[in-house]
Chains A and B, each alone.
Chain A
Amino acid sequence: MEATERFVRGKGRYVGDIELPGTLHLAIIRSKYARARLLRVEGGISGRDLSAVIPDVGEGARGESWKIKQPVFATGQVNYLGQPVAAVYADNKYLAEDLMDSVDVSYEPMQPVLDEQEAMTAEPIHPGLNSNVATDQFIGKDFEEKDAEVVLDDAFKIGRIATDPIETRGILVNYDGSRLNVWVSTQAMFSIRNGLCATLGLPITSVRVMQADTGGAFGSKSAMYPEYAIAAFVSMKTRRPVKWLESRKEHLTASRPGRGVSGSMKLFAKRDGTVIGLKGEIIVNGGAYLDGLARFSPMFIGMQLTGPYAIRNGYIRAISVVTNTPPLGPYRGAGRPEAAFFRERMMDLLADELKLDPAEIRIKNATDQVFTNPFGMRIIGSRQFMTEAFDSLEYYKLAREPNGRRGVGISCFVLVPALMEGESCKLKVDNGRIKAWLGGNSHGQAHEVFVRKLIGSTLDVSTGVVDVQPGDTDMITSGVGVWGSRSAIVAGYATVLASQTLKEKVVKTKGLYTPEYLLAGNYEAEVLNEKFDDPSLNSFGANLVTVDVDELGEVTVEECRSYYDVGNALNREMVKGQIAGGMAQGISSVLYEGLIFSKDGTLLTDSIASAGVPPARELPHFVTGITEHPSSLPHGAKGVGEAPTIGVPPALVRAIEKATGVRIRNIPIHPEVLIGPKK
């Protein structure tokens, strides 16, 4: 049965749905404080029983974790609200929750450091550190400022956001006496396997990870987490299956949130609107423990700051800090939306300063050829794309209409997909059918559709003979994961390469290739592609948003349109579905969402509603425009998944600014700032 049919029938197999006899249910006792000395932990299992640290795996992993490593259980000191302190288990979750009261924890609260700017000067939060600054690097090259006729500076802040998939995290572990069999809701089964092995000191061969149906992820389900190690530990200790399902309240502090960045920018330009350089400082709130993604994030943001424009000079200070907040993770876009927000805000400011049209100033700074920016990022010519985009979005028409309390905003950006380490695909022909496995599997992106299509077209077989298998680390040698707008590109390419390998094998044995020869035989191919160096994979996008803002500060989004170059769309309907879903997240990241802590570190947004996941009545109808300029890969794919969370926020913020006359520097927007007559 197709995945979609299983889902509409209620026959999905999410991790919470998998039942093994004798399963124990795990409940985690978590820190009540953002920062405190841990005076006593009595009862349950805790750091005394399992003393281990979380390795750096998953999206953005750099292998080495930072010198302060995240423990599975806190000992000595707790460093963020929700940090695991102890765990209990019982035959069902009601009994496990009852048992939580049997664990006695006493704390001595300390003043937490929550904000990235505050962290720069505050006392170090971790004993043994000299400062809260984890990384501090300059990228680009310092440059002379004397040619500039206009110099503008401004400072911005993007708050933390929970990823909030409707299915929270969950894991089921069954230790069978020699191996750990793991079912998990994840974007990256190999990261979970490698993470479990590293945390518990197990050989790779002793862990098998099977990806359950995964109910959304948006970044938070690629990392290794303490709860996974605890579940595995308890299963090994008790020789029983152990299940842990995250509650929503837990999700809001125990799963890694995204964003949380301050940026100050200085733009140098000529009076004709040509931008000649950009300087600035980026400070990323890495949370209590920084993995590779958090430490690299300020550089990743910095290096994209020129976006689709040919800005020749750039010099950015890129800083990451530790704070008493949950460890930073990726959230749809992961650095890309931050870069676009800072840059597009400056482009709008420049347009206002020079009294030029925002579209005109963007086209003026576009490039006609391949351009390498001061930080090494390469793009292909962007001018033609932008010209087409503003026409297609009907910007000129909408901008001319009388506005009153209405406003129109546009944005342009580059989507830099995460291609590092490539992806794997294994194909096996047997009994007239082709089985396909991927190293990174769908959690709502319908990989099976493009896999079938690419195998069908490469091997000239009906897509009906292809069976795409669920993710299982025992069935394929290696793999990476699903994030960073990568799958159509890297997994698609791996599928094409594996298909071509099958073809060659048929030619080798039969002298020539025919689909009949292929399906009559037994063939196998496995490919991991690794190297991608092609600026055409950095794709362009533009958005247009119109709003109406009433005197009470209530924002109504009227139009939300995209014009994205998605390369060769392997499945137009899925592409458009991804865009609509992403645009909803783009809007809510500006208007509704946010993880808000009080000064003492209490989470004020502790439900999915108060964290701002919007229902249908708060969102508009989306116009999902695409254009298809194939990349240079054989299947022509480019990325798309993150485009809307990159492009929508700056366009929406500009529209609100035009409607209200209030310059907006911080998102999410607090509606108070919009109240009152137009400025």
Chain B
Amino acid sequence: MKISVNVNGRNVDADVEPRKLLVDFIRDDLHLTGTHVGCDTSSCGACTVLLDGVAVKSCTMFAVQANNRNITTIEGLSKGDELHRLQSAFIEEGGLQCGYCTPGMIMTSAWLLSNNAAPTEEEIRNGISGNLCRCTGYDSIIRSIQKASSDRRGGRK
């Protein structure tokens, strides 16, 4: 099936099998391998992207369902060399170890902060509970999100 999607600001026309998952389209066809796969039951959130600005697990939908929509992946979050404030905050606060959950975690966090500029710790815990991290115990991820949130309110990009 022919689809047309906007990915990270770029229009893409593609011919995909109806059964192809969005995550496989992103990884295998578009070669955007920052979007990861960690499970087969939509539990881990490693595959999270923004679809028209809303965080979705890209393993839970078919590529054809993204027809005529806007997708942002982790690769589209930074502006060239300049990191998004969430990316900087994850580095500064040690919000990652192996890094495998990180892209999904950051995309979910971006969606969280776009809805709630100053979430409490509890709101962050609930907000990222669709994303699993096996390395950090989450504390440093929560600090990273808090830091990005206060950086934004402090005017940092």
Contacts and interface: CB of A to CB of B under 8 A. Distances in A.
B100 A215 contact: yes
A167 interface: yes
A9 B124 CA distance: 21
Contact of A10 (B33, B38, B133, B134): B33
B35 A10 contact: yes
A92 B24 CA distance: 11
* CB-CB nearest 9 A-B residue pairs: A10-B34, A215-B100, A7-B99, A444-B98, A10-B74, A584-B137, A444-B97, A17-B33, A580-B137
Contacts of B134: 164-166, 216, 218, 581, 585, 613
Question: Residue among A14, A93, A218, A577 with the most chain B CB within 10 A?
Answer: A577
Contacts of B131: 615
Given A167-B38, A248-B39, A613-B134, A8 B128 contact: no
Contacts of A619: 137-138
Interface in B78-131: 78, 83, 87, 90-91, 94, 96-103, 106, 121, 124-126, 128-131
Given A8-B83, A443-B98, A583 B137 contact: yes
B140 A580 contact: yes
Given A94-B17, A616-B128, A167 B36 contact: yes
A19 interface: yes
B15 interface: no
Interface string B23-51: 01001100111111111110110100000
A214 to B, nearest CB: 7
19 contacts: A4-B99, A8-B99, A9-B75, A10-B73, A10-B74, A16-B27, A16-B36, A94-B19, A166-B135, A215-B36, A218-B134, A248-B40, A577-B97, A584-B138, A608-B41, A613-B132, A614-B132, A615-B130, A616-B141
B94 A573 contact: yes
B39 to A, nearest CB: 4
A470 to B, nearest CB: 14
A445 interface: yes
A329 to B, nearest CB: 16
Given A8-B91, A9-B34, A17-B33, A616 B41 contact: no
A581 B41 contact: no
Interface of A: 2-12, 14, 16-17, 19, 92-94, 164-168, 213-216, 218, 245, 247-249, 443-446, 573-574, 577-578, 580-585, 607-609, 613-619, 621-622
Given A10-B73, A165-B134, A616-B142, A216 B94 contact: no
Contacts of A617: 125-126, 129
Nearest to B19: A94
A573 B90 CA distance: 13
Question: Residue among B32, B96, B126, B141 with the most chain A CB within 10 A?
Answer: B96
Contacts of A213: 98-99
Contact of B139 (A92, A168, A622): A622
Contact of B133 (A166, A249, A578): A166
A216 B98 contact: yes
Contacts of B31: 19
Interface of B: 17, 19-20, 24, 27-28, 31-41, 43-44, 46, 73-75, 78, 83, 87, 90-91, 94, 96-103, 106, 121, 124-126, 128-142
B83 A247 contact: no
A630 to B, nearest CB: 23
B129 A616 contact: yes
Contacts of A249: 40
A614 B135 CA distance: 11
Nearest to B46: A166
Contacts of A4: 90-91, 96, 99
A92 B28 contact: yes
A618 B73 CA distance: 28
Nearest to B97: A444
A12 B99 contact: yes
Contact of B36 (A5, A14, A218, A581): A14
B87 A166 contact: no
Contact of B32 (A10, A443, A618): A10
B37 A16 contact: yes
Contact of B100 (A167, A584, A585, A613): A167
B102 A607 contact: no
Nearest to B39: A248
A617 B129 CA distance: 6
Given A16-B33, A609-B41, A622 B137 contact: yes
A166 B90 contact: no
A581 B132 CA distance: 12
A248 B41 contact: yes
B87 A8 contact: yes
Contacts of B139: 580, 621-622
Contacts of B33: 10, 12, 14, 16-17
Contact of B135 (A6, A168, A444, A615): A444
Contacts of A248: 38-41, 44
Given A608-B41, A608-B43, A621-B139, A94 B20 contact: yes
A44 B156 CA distance: 57
A573 to B, nearest CB: 5
B130 to A, nearest CB: 7
Contact of A216 (B73, B74, B100, B128): B100
Nearest to B35: A10
Given A8-B87, A17-B33, A248-B40, A446 B97 contact: yes
Contact of A577 (B41, B46, B90, B94): B94
B136 A608 contact: no
Nearest to A442: B98
A607 B41 CA distance: 7
B38 A168 contact: yes
Nearest to B130: A615
Question: Residue among A248, A616, A618 with the most chain B CB within 10 A?
Answer: A616
Nearest to B144: A8
A251 to B, nearest CB: 9
Contacts of B38: 166-168, 248, 608
A607 B36 contact: no
Contact of A581 (B34, B73, B137): B137
